[in-house]
Amino acid sequence: MRRYKVAFYVSLLALIGLFIVQASRESSGYAQAFRTNLNEAIQANSTFRMTDVANFEWDRMYRIDPYMPREAIEEIIGTKLKGSAELTDELFYQLIFVKEDEVVLNIIMDGITADFSSSKRMTERAASLFRIEKIPDAYAADRETVLIHNVMEGDLAAKE
């Protein structure tokens, strides 16, 4: 019984720590609106412009995979990060939005809500069209996996 209590409290502290880290990364105030807009775009569309989802000022969006060290992330995005940076779970990744040399939003995303793993590492604001692909989830019959891919304007017109 004592072992279960210890495990419970250790798990609780780890969860609180995760929320603190996530809150520090998403402190810009844009995080909740971004999540809401992305979920609405996924539900309503087959394509979307990231400029409509991330409706704040940004120049570039970076997709950062887990296990990437802080120094490598800062080299990729070309500026310093505030707070902790490295994710240690394959389920999560980061989207980092940069305006000039400042991080505007660093948001932790899970691959279940929207999987950007097949999108480009860096997306320019002017080329921010994405296609949504919904496929049956391999692990849960009642759920879909949502894959998000970069699309060039000409590619989309050719498919229609």
CB 112 within 8 A of CB 145: yes
Q: What pLDDT is stored for residue 94 in this prediction?
A: 92
CB 140 within 8 A of CB 78: no
Q: What pLDDT is stored for residue 97 in this prediction?
A: 95
Q: Which element (helix H / strand E) includes 83?
A: none
Predicted confidence pLDDT, tens digits, the chain (160 residues): 565 554 444 443 443 444 444 443 444 689 999 999 999 999 988 999 999 999 999 999 999 988 999 999 999 999 988 876 678 888 889 999 999 999 999 999 888 889 998 889 999 999 999 999 998 887 777 888 899 999 876 555 444 4
- Residue ranges of the domains in the chain? 2-159
CA–CA distance, 117 with 72 (Å, rounded to integer): 18
CB 79 within 8 A of CB 62: no
